[in-house]
Structure 1
Amino acid sequence: MATWLQRMNARRAKTGDGSPMPRFRWWQLLSRSVFELPPTPGRPARYAVDVRHAGDRTDGAVRARLYRDGALAAVSKLPTAFPVEGGAIEVAVNSIGLRRCHFVPEDRVSGAGTGAIVLTPLPASAEGRRARFDREHPAASRLIGALALAAVLIGVAVGGYELVMQLASIPAVVEAIGVIERPFRVPLEVGIAVGAGAVLGGLERTLRLRSTWLDEFAT
């Protein structure tokens, strides 16, 4: 039984034309995400989700394409939920990249399930390369993840400070609470460095499907 959100998102999906999934090219590392759901005894088909982050050429909209055994089965704007045997594949993006690509079992609705399962990234994709690095170099991977999170949090702190100072300079706010002097000014060079670090940190976290609204705010 699908949730109301899955049913609402599923209405966005249109039936595919059965065309084969295009081969992944190396120059698509940062513009395309492909995740796979392998077959199981209760789900004999192999599914793949293909997302082009630059949007479609026709209208610029970002869509997810669901391939069943290599043939295009459905196309949908995001966020969406593709019904499959035993549950649904939920896909969502944010301003940085892919935020969610999970298989949600039907029994999760009743509370008896083990929760959503992240689909497996295509080995040739940026997400797949990041996952392989995590398997082969776990210690270095954890360090990079910690540095990425730190860069994002610093970006949030600096961005939040600048936002508060800008809000405090609005005439209506000044009239209500008076003038608030800046405790300090962030040098331009520091601001650029923090922004670049936040973007890189957010991108790294996106490759692991761990980005949140904090990553978007920081970037």
Structure 2
Amino acid sequence: MVRNPHQIKAGNGRSLKRFRPWQMLSRALFYLSVTNGEGRPVVYAVDVPYWQRVLTDDGHGKAHLYRDGEHHAHSKLPAAFPVEGGTIEVVPTSFGLKRCHYVTEEGAASRLVPDERSAEGRRARFDREHPVLSRLIGALSLTVLFTSVALIVLQIVEALAAVPPVAERLGTFTSPIDLSIGLNSLLALCASTAAVERATRLRWNPLLDGSA
């Protein structure tokens, strides 16, 4: 359950803008269809413009909630929007979202449906159409992140062991793998790409994917 530390503010009623292809890395858009007390279907949309991170003090950005296509509310992230029958929880990471779920009053949670044109929607469609290849890509992303973390840890330990007080107490340590600046930059690029791929599936691990 997400505790929302930010005040939810009322929306201005503007219309939801269609997702554009060039927004795949700068915007997330998810949908939820529920039934109100009168038995009428209501469609909610959660719009997260990643560029708004630069406008918030903590760098997490904002989430905007639309109800039947009209701007209904907005909040800094993480956000918990009350809706019919439960709450929509939205939690960011450094590379996207780790949570965009509808949690019912009984505690059951389900992920919202991503817009088909978004990065998350395209990744979900790829998973449906090519499940084996999708799993291989997911495994590759995980392997890249594991490898990156392991190599970073080795370099950190080597640097710490070079500090005289530490060396005197614990001895020196030389990493068995010595990476150049160019290889370290390539490793960082690969790790970032893998983290983005995992973010499109809303997969997140505090060790592998960084802090939220």
Do the two structures share a fold, i.e. TM-score over 0.5? yes
Residue 24 of structure 1: CA displacement? 1.4
Question: What residue is the counterpart of 2:151 in the other structure?
Answer: 158
Mapping of 1:174-185 within 5 angstroms?
A: 174-185=167-178
Q: In the alignment, residue 72 of structure 1 is paired with which amino acid?
A: H
Size of the aligned set, in residue pairs, is: 207
Give the TM-score taking structure 1 as reference length: 0.84
**Which of 10, 19, 22 is 2:17 aligned to?**
22
2:48 equivalent to 1:55 = no
**3-state DSSP class of the match of 1:38?**
strand
SS of 1:54's equivalent in the other structure is: helix
1:193 aligns with 2:186: yes
Report the equivalent of 2:124: 131
Separation of aligned partners in 1, 2:79 and 2:178 = 43
Other-structure match for 1:67: 66
Structure 1 counterpart of 2:117, which letter?
A: A
Match status 1:203 vs 2:202 = no
Can you give the 5+ residue segments of structure 2 that lack an aligned partner in the other structure?
none
CA shift at 1:35, angstroms? 0.5
Q: Deviations over 1:71-126 (max 9, x none)?
A: 11111001111111111111011111111101111111xxxxxx310100001111
The answer for the alignment partner of 1:104 in structure 2 is: 103
Q: Write the distance in 1 (CA, Å) between the matches of 2:64 and 2:176.
A: 50
Evaluate the alpha carbon distance shift between residue 68 and residue 10 of structure 1 in structure 2; reply closer, same or farther with a 3 A threshold: farther
Q: Distance in 2 between matches of 1:103 and 1:151?
A: 31
Provide structure 1 residue ranges, at least 5 long, that are not aligned to the other structure. Answer: 109-114
The structure-2 alpha-carbon separation of the partners of 1:130 and 1:72, relative to structure 1 and needing over 3 Å to count, comes to same
State the alpha-carbon separation in 1 of the partners of residues 55 and 153 from structure 2.
Answer: 37
Q: Which residue of 1 aligns with 2:160?
A: 167
Name the counterpart of 2:141. 148
1:19 CA displacement: 1.1
Residue aligned with 2:51, SS: coil
Q: Provide the identity percentage.
A: 45
Secondary structure of 1:195's aligned partner: helix
Letter in 2 for 1:105: T
Q: Structure 1 186/24 Cα, relative in aligned 2: closer, same or farther at 3 Å?
A: same
Distance 1:128 1:155 in 2: 27
Query: What is the aligned partner in structure 2 of residue 112 from structure 1?
Result: none
Q: CA RMSD in A?
A: 2.4
Give TM-score, length-normalised by structure 2.
Answer: 0.87
Tell me the secondary structure at the aligned position of residue 14 of structure 2: coil
Displacement after TM superposition at 1:16 (Å): 0.9
**What SS does the corresponding residue of 1:19 show, helix, strand or coil?**
coil
